[in-house]
C-alpha cells in the first residue's frame, strides 16, 4: 500500500500560492494539508478564511484541515463551507471532544483528532471508534521545519495496536519533521498518511520529492 501524502501549504510560497497549489494538483500528492493556527493554542498565526478561499478555488484534491485553535466548534461550519473534506481538532483543545467529533460528522466532513507529543495514545481509547483520522504530532505544533521527535515511532505502533484491537476504521497521519529517511520507518510502524511541509517545499524539485515519499513502502 502506498502512503497517503499530504503536503503542508504552510511551507508554500504565499506570493505564488496558485502556482504551488497547481504543482500539488499535478503531483502524486493525495491531500492538501491546511494548518490553521490561532496564536493562542499555538505560539504562531498562520492564515484564515480569505487565504483558504483562494486555496479552495484552485485545489483539485481533498482539503485535510488541521485546526490548532482553541474552541474549534465556533468555526466548524465555516470550514466546511470553505471546502474542508476532513477536519482534525486537537485533543488538548477540546474539553467535550465527543461532541465536537459528532458535530464535524454531522456536517458531512471526516473527523480527526490530533495528539501533541506529550499526550499518550491511551487518551483515545474511548473515542477511537468514532474517528476517521488520528494525527500524531511528531513536533510541537506551531511551526514548519522543526526536528522530528523520535518517540513518534513507538507511538505510531501503539496507536496501530489500539486501532486493530477495536477494529476501528481510522487512519494514522504523522505531522511534523517528516522526510525521506524517517518516512519508511513510520510506514512500517503503521502510518497511513504523511504530512510534509519543509521537506517538500524546500526541495529543488517538490514534485519529485512528493513522488519519492509516495513510493516509500
Q: Is 38 in the site for Zn ion (CB under 5 A)?
A: no
Q: Is 62 in the site for ligand DX5 (CB under 6 A)?
A: no
Candidate list 30, 66, 89, 91; residue touching ligand DX5; CB under 6 A? 66
CA–CA dist 143, 43 (Å, integer) = 9
Q: How far is the CB of 166 from ligand DX5 (least distance, A)?
A: 26
Instruction: Tell me which residue has cell 471546502.
Output: 83
CA–CA dist 82, 55 (Å, integer) = 9
- How far is the CA of 173 from the CAs of 15, 50, 109, 113, in angstroms? 28, 26, 17, 10
Candidate list 8, 88, 100, 152; residue touching ligand DX5; CB under 6 A? 8
Beta carbon nearer to ligand DX5, 37 or 162: 37
Cell output for 155: 507511538
Q: How far is the CB of 36 from ligand DX5 (least distance, A)?
A: 9
Candidate list 86, 198, 210, 212; residue touching ligand DX5; CB under 6 A? 198
Asked if 175 is an active-site residue, the reply is yes
Candidate list 72, 83, 112, 142; residue touching ligand DX5; CB under 6 A? 142
Residue in 20, 38, 132, 175 annotated catalytic: 175
Q: Are 34 and 41 in contact (CB under 8 A)?
A: no
Candidate list 30, 92, 130, 175; residue touching Zn ion; CB under 5 A? 175
Residue in 35, 38, 64, 130 annotated catalytic: 35
| Partner interacting with residue 176 (select from Zn ion, ligand DX5, none; CB below 5-8 Å by kind) | ligand DX5
**21-27 contacts, C-beta under 8 A, 24 or more apart:** 21/55, 21/58, 21/59, 22/58, 23/206, 23/207, 24/59, 24/61, 24/210, 25/58, 25/59, 25/60, 25/61, 26/207, 27/206, 27/207, 27/210, 27/211
Beta carbon nearer to Zn ion, 66 or 103: 66
Q: Where in the sequence numbering do the catalytic residues fall?
A: 35, 175
Residues engaged in binding Zn ion (CB under 5 A): 35, 66, 175
Interface residue list for ligand DX5 (CB under 6 A): 8, 10-11, 33, 35, 66, 139, 141-146, 175-178, 195-199
Amino acid at each position: 500500500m502506498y502512503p497517503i501524502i499530504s503536503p503542508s501549504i504552510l511551507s508554500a510560497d504565499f506570493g505564488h500560492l496558485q502556482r504551488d497549489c497547481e504543482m500539488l494538483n499535478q503531483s502524486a500528492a493525495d491531500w492538501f494539508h491546511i494548518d490553521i493556527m490561532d496564536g493562542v493554542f499555538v505560539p504562531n498565526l498562520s492564515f484564515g478564511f480569505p487565504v483558504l478561499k483562494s486555496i479552495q478555488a484552485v485545489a483539485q484534491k481533498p482539503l485535510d484541515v488541521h485546526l490548532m485553535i482553541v474552541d474549534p466548534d465556533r468555526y466548524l461550519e465555516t470550514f466546511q463551507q470553505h471546502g474542508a473534506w476532513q477536519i482534525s481538532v486537537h485533543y488538548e483543545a477540546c474539553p467535550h471532544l465527543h461532541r465536537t467529533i459528532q458535530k464535524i460528522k454531522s456536517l458531512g466532513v471526516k473527523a480527526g483528532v490530533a495528539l501533541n507529543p506529550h499526550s499518550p495514545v491511551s487518551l483515545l481509547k474511548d473515542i477511537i471508534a468514532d474517528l476517521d483520522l488520528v494525527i500524531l504530532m511528531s513536533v510541537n505544533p506551531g511551526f514548519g521545519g522543526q526536528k522530528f521527535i523520535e518517540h513518534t515511532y513507538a507511538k505510531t505502533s501503539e496507536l496501530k495496536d489500539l486501532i486493530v484491537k477495536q477494529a476501528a476504521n481510522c487512519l494514522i497521519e504523522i505531522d511534523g519533521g517528516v522526510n525521506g529517511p524517517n518516512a519508511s520507518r513510520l510506514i512500517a510502524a503503521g502510518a497511513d498518511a504523511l504530512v510534509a511541509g519543509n521537506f517538500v517545499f524546500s526541495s529543488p524539485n517538490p514534485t519529485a520529492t512528493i513522488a519519492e515519499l509516495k513510493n516509500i513502502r
